[in-house]
Amino acid sequence: MKKSILLSLSSLLAVGLSTAVHAATPNDAQIASIVVAANTVDINAGKQAESKASNKEVRAFAKRMVADHTGVNQQAVALVKKLHVTPEANDTSNTLTQDGAATLAKLKGLSGTAFDKAYVDNEVSYHQTVLDALDKTLIPSASNGELKGLLVKVRPAFVEHLEHAKHIQAQLK
Amino acid sequence: MKTGWLLAACAACWLGAVAGAAAAEHQVVIDGMAFHPKVVHVRPGDTITWLNKDMFVHNVTAGAAHAGSGAHSGDLAPGKSWRYTVPAGGSFDYLCSLHPVMTGRVEVEAGPKPGNAR
């Protein structure tokens, strides 16, 4: 039962973002919306984990996710304002938001080690999927140089977060 | 008497200048979730400045085995830097404790570096 919950949590976001990968090429306004939605999903998950996680390292990781992804969103919002681009909600950003809410609801029902493992498993899937989306869709599709530059600049953070999450995942096993 | 004082003062200045010339300045840039260069080669008395050019907060924290090195910057907001004078002692690994995948090393060398005019 627990295993099936973990699997479904891990696959939720992957399905949402892989939809983005295979969807029609997004324009800059849609990319901005996807970026903000993706970061917001992880900020919300991090806030939940900061209060619910039992493992100290998991709580510290969650706190870092909230701080770093909030930073990315601030930069993204500042840039779209500067570029006079209005983020345009689209199927991908909507799916991300809905899946993020569903993940929060499922995690809410877990506690202790089960919560820690489910949260960290989800973080591994999330960061891997966002990296794939950055590489295959978002960075290649961005037409504005500054937007593309911001996506390139934040990419290493997703790599670091993924490796960090994998490290904690291995420790929790 | 005055001449003696002048000579002593000049000697002190000269010694100070020599000592100053011997200490090198090094810079490590923090960007893209990494330390550049990853390994910095120094000698005791040199100074290292870590400059955070990334968009995230980072820090420089010596590994647990070298906590006594004093290499602990505290959190560095984007654009901030931290200067550290290398004490006599061994080389050490360090990391950003906020992003532990980010690691670096201070390699303390006893002798002059090959080809380095000091």
Q: How far does the CA of residue A1 sit from the closest CA of chain B (Å)?
A: 33
Q: What does the alpha-carbon distance between residue A152 and residue A6 come to, in Å, rounded to a whole number?
A: 31
pLDDT tens, residue by residue, A133-157: 999 999 999 999 999 999 999 999 9
Other residues' Cβ atoms within 10 Å of the Cβ of residue A31 = 31
- Section A18-31 average pLDDT: 74
Contact status of A38 with chain B (Cβ, < 8 Å): no
For tokens 């010694």, name the residue: B15
Residue recorded with tokens 């953070």:
A157
Which of helix, strand or coil describes residue B87?
coil
Sequence-separated contacts (24+) of B91-94 with Cβ below 8 Å: B92/B62, B92/B63, B92/B65, B92/B66, B93/B62, B93/B63, B93/B65, B93/B66, B94/B60, B94/B61, B94/B62, B94/B63, B94/B66
Report the mean per-residue pLDDT for chain A.
90
What does DSSP say about strands B92-96 and B47-52: parallel, antiparallel, or unpaired? Answer: unpaired
CATH superfamily of B24-108: Cupredoxins -  blue copper proteins (2.60.40.420)
Q: Is B32 on the interface with A (CB under 8 A)?
A: yes
Which chain B residues have a beta carbon less than 8 Å from that of A75? 55
Output the domain CATH number for residue A119. 1.20.1260.10
- The upper half-sphere exposure of residue B38, i.e. CA atoms within 13 Å in the direction of its Cβ, equals 6
Tokens representing residue A89 in the block: 């909600």
Q: Which ipTM did the prediction report?
A: 0.84
| Interface contact A156-B55, CB threshold 8 A | no
pLDDT tens digits along B38-73: 999 999 999 999 999 999 999 999 987 776 777 899
One-letter amino acid at A78 equals A
User: What domain range includes position A70?
Assistant: 2-20+27-172
Direct distance between the N- and C-terminal alpha carbons of chain A, in angstroms, rounded to an integer? 17
Task: Count structural domains, chain A.
Answer: 1
Per-residue pLDDT tens digits for A76-92? 999 999 999 999 999 99
Q: Does B102 touch chain A (CB under 8 A)?
A: yes
What sign does the dihedral A89-A90-A92-A95 (CA atoms) show?
A: positive
Average pLDDT over residues A61-88: 96
